[in-house]
Structure 1
Amino acid sequence: MDNNKPSKDLFVPVDMSSNDSEKIARPSLSFWQDSFIRLRKNVGAMIGLAVLIVLVVMAAFGPYMNEYGQFEQDLSRAKMPPKVEALSWLGMDGTLTSVQTADSLEKAEQNALMRFNNQEEYIKTEVLNDGSNGEPAKVEATYDAYGAKNMEENFWFGTDGLGRDLWTRTWMGTRVSLYIAVLAAAIDMLFGVAYGGISAYYGGRVDNIMQRIIEVIVGIPNLVLVILMILILEPGILSITIALAIAGWIGMARIVRGQVLKLKNQEFVLASRTLGAKDNRILRRHLIPNVLGLIIINTMFSIPSAIFFEAFLSFIGLGLPTPLASLGTLINDGFNSLQIYPHILLFPAIIISLIMIAFNVLADGLRDAFDPKMRE
């Protein structure tokens, strides 16, 4: 066992001058610099941020990338499938596919042709099962919708039941979702932070009254608030905005209140008060900055909920009125013809899923970056 011990001769004292003993090995970093470095190392958060940037750019410029307006109707091109020449291998080749089953092969082929108005010149059929094995006969029909209508222009996301271009309408609807995201963040930052900070800092009777007001607002469901706004105003973005402004900040106010209650009796607050700082300055310069990381994290987590709330309202008919487009109204339109024309629902559903997942992943990354316990 003694043979495995290192020899003392291997250890030599390091020559170090008194000036080098207190030398800082690396430059000091502020809390925000250190947090940003850790955020950049989070691959998931960076991917989420990149996805959000791409979606914002597409929402800003996407509707202008073709010549079709969001309200432009043409029934002759209704429910056209998506077609992109370079992405035909993804199924975006301008064709519609239907699988028909019947007791006999002839009947299945007849049903397949009838599904696309017997336009045999533009229909290709493929026998999946001829029925010889005792199971029903199955035939797949592929219909060239663009060739049948002699259409030379391509619709990248297809068209809806009124012939409106879904590419334009989807990105216009994305603007609504991003507006809701910005609105939710602004409401949390302005109302929630101010209300929670004032309630916790002054405490006593002020805190008691302000918390009772919150409890009254919490007792009213958001859906009821929206319905009341619609009765007073009209269905639209204004009703949703007011409903979010009334109740969307309560969660943030409670979180900020809890954090300020823990910090307001700390020594740095007492020192600032002793030096004559006013309450407004103590809140703005000392208390709120110390909970800013938590504020940003909770704001990012509240954004997907607000986006989903708007999409849900539009889906049940309480959101934007027709013909305005939001992702919720587009999903509602596509839901009615999901089995026959799935592309009408597919693209808005993908966009809203990407928005919500990207915000959640980015929020997770921010939480890990701002949390000192996650520091390596």
Structure 2
Amino acid sequence: MTARKYAIGSDANARAMEAVKGRSLWDDARRRLFRNKAAVTGMIILAVMVLAALIGPYLLPNDYSHLNRDNVWASPGEAGFVLGTDSLGRDLLARLLIGLRVSLAVGVVATAVSLVIGVIWGAVAGYAGGKVDELMMRFVDVLYSLPFIFFVILLMVTFGRSFILIFAAIGAVEWLTMARIVRGQTMSLKQKEFVEAARAAGLGPMAIIARHIVPNLLGPVVVYVTLTIPTVILVESFLSFLGMGVQEPLTSLGTLISQGARDMEIAWWSLVFPAGAMILTLMSFNFIGDGLRDAIDPKDR
């Protein structure tokens, strides 16, 4: 009887400890995110596409740059080509997977560049305030006034065309919006009690920014990042469509769509499949971004 009472008491204590411990805000956000069917669907589709882009080209018998003059504009399924071939007889599936890999790489790397620059710039400007904030944000306004295409053309004329330059050009422009968002959030956070306590404890400005301001910016920053990646992919595709992006024999979704638009009357598959991959990628990122926004701050719904 005593053992039974002890067991019942232990279970009650365990439940009480669990109730006291509770769940963190990030645990609640994760639960809300995984209850969002659109966001979960987007994550699954995106995961499949990323795995296909990383592993798929190594599993195909044809290289993305291999020319096959005997199978020019082969239709899907003809001569063993799942998605057909292009005007030079190259395997469209292999080129689509490589193009997806390149577009995703440009989106992720350029967004990472804009994230680092934008968060540092916006946090310092928002926390410093006064003339420092005024000077830093006027510099942002000057860069905003420059046409993006003019900026990219200027870089390419100066340094030449390269794959790395596309990362630099896009990342060097996309951080401007990130800086403004972070600045506004920082100006609100620096008035909070925990920042005042950190100042009273003797922490310097950079330590407060790194330890207290930036960690509390993760919510809106993460949401904005998921919405920036598809924007960057669209920008790279636009540049490639104009012939200023990725150069042959390498390809991207924008390059494939440009070639498909030119050949669509002869080979419809050269446009439909790359455009479909682009739509799926952008929709997946947008679903994930909307899901994260609702999960982190459900009051915004």
Fold conserved between structures, TM > 0.5:
yes
Q: 1:340 aligns with which of 260, 266, 272?
A: 266
Which residue in 1 is equivalent to 2:61?
67
Report if the CA contact (8 A) 2:111-2:174 is conserved.
no
Which residue in 2 is equivalent to 1:33?
27
Q: Name the aligned partner's letter for residue 315 of structure 1.
A: F
Which residue in 2 is equivalent to 1:302?
228
Q: TM (normalized to structure 2)?
A: 0.91
Report if the CA contact (8 A) 1:184-1:302 is conserved.
no
Which residue in 1 is equivalent to 2:176?
250
Q: What is the 5 A alignment of 1:161-176?
A: 161-176=87-102
Q: What is the 5 A alignment of 1:9-24?
A: none
Q: What is the 5 A alignment of 1:307-322?
A: 307-322=233-248
Report if the CA contact (8 A) 1:185-1:300 is conserved.
no
1-side partners of 2:89 and 2:300: how far apart?
Answer: 52
Post-superposition Cα deviations, 1:76-125, rounded to whole Å, max 9, x if no partner, equal 11000111xxxxxxxxxx4xxxxxxxxxxxxxxxxxxxxxxxxxxxxxxx
Which residue in 1 is equivalent to 2:108?
182
- C-alpha displacement at 1:184, in angstroms? 3.0
SS in 1 for 2:263: coil
1-side partners of 2:94 and 2:193: how far apart?
Answer: 57
SS in 2 for 1:254: helix
- Higher-Rg structure is 1
Report if the CA contact (8 A) 2:148-2:173 is conserved.
yes
2-side partners of 1:275 and 1:253: how far apart?
Answer: 28
Q: 2:81 aligns with which of 155, 158, 174?
A: 155
2-side partners of 1:187 and 1:236: how far apart?
Answer: 17
Which residue in 1 is equivalent to 2:9?
none
Post-superposition Cα deviations, 1:244-287, rounded to whole Å, max 9, x if no partner, equal 23211010100010011011021111111101112222111211
Residue 240 (structure 1) aligned with residue 160 (structure 2): no
SS in 2 for 1:53: helix
Q: Name the aligned partner's letter for residue 58 of structure 1.
A: A
Q: 1:272 aligns with which of 198, 216, 234?
A: 198
Runs of 4+ in 1 over 4 A off after TM superposition: none
Q: What is the 5 A alignment of 1:1-376?
A: 26=19, 27-83=21-77, 94=78, 153-373=79-299
Q: Name the aligned partner's letter for residue 29 of structure 1.
A: R
Report if the CA contact (8 A) 1:166-1:344 is conserved.
yes
Q: Name the aligned partner's letter for residue 33 of structure 2.
A: L
- C-alpha displacement at 1:233, in angstroms? 2.4
Report if the CA contact (8 A) 1:229-1:242 is conserved.
no
Q: Name the aligned partner's letter for residue 103 of structure 2.
A: S
1-side partners of 2:112 and 2:46: how far apart?
Answer: 18
Which residue in 1 is equivalent to 2:6?
none
Q: Name the aligned partner's letter for residue 362 of structure 1.
A: I
Q: Which has the higher contact order (CA 8 A, sep 6+)?
A: 2
2-side partners of 1:339 and 1:162: how far apart?
Answer: 16
Gaps of 5+ in 2: 1-11
- C-alpha displacement at 1:325, in angstroms? 1.1
Post-superposition Cα deviations, 1:340-362, rounded to whole Å, max 9, x if no partner, equal 21001111111111111100000
Instruction: Decide which structure has greater strand share.
Output: 1
2-side partners of 1:302 and 1:336: how far apart?
Answer: 29
Post-superposition Cα deviations, 1:44-93, rounded to whole Å, max 9, x if no partner, equal 0000011110011000111122211111102111000111xxxxxxxxxx
Instruction: Decide which structure has greater helix share.
Output: 2
Post-superposition Cα deviations, 1:125-184, rounded to whole Å, max 9, x if no partner, equal xxxxxxxxxxxxxxxxxxxxxxxxxxxx40011110001111111100111111122113
Q: Name the aligned partner's letter for residue 160 of structure 2.
A: E
Report if the CA contact (8 A) 1:313-1:319 is conserved.
yes
2-side partners of 1:182 and 1:329: how far apart?
Answer: 18
Q: Name the aligned partner's letter for residue 78 of structure 1.
A: V
2-side partners of 1:285 and 1:46: how far apart?
Answer: 32
Q: Name the aligned partner's letter for residue 54 of structure 2.
A: A
1-side partners of 2:157 and 2:115: how far apart?
Answer: 29
2-side partners of 1:297 and 1:265: how far apart?
Answer: 23
Gaps of 5+ in 1: 1-18, 84-93, 95-152
- Percent identical residues: 39
SS in 1 for 2:80: coil
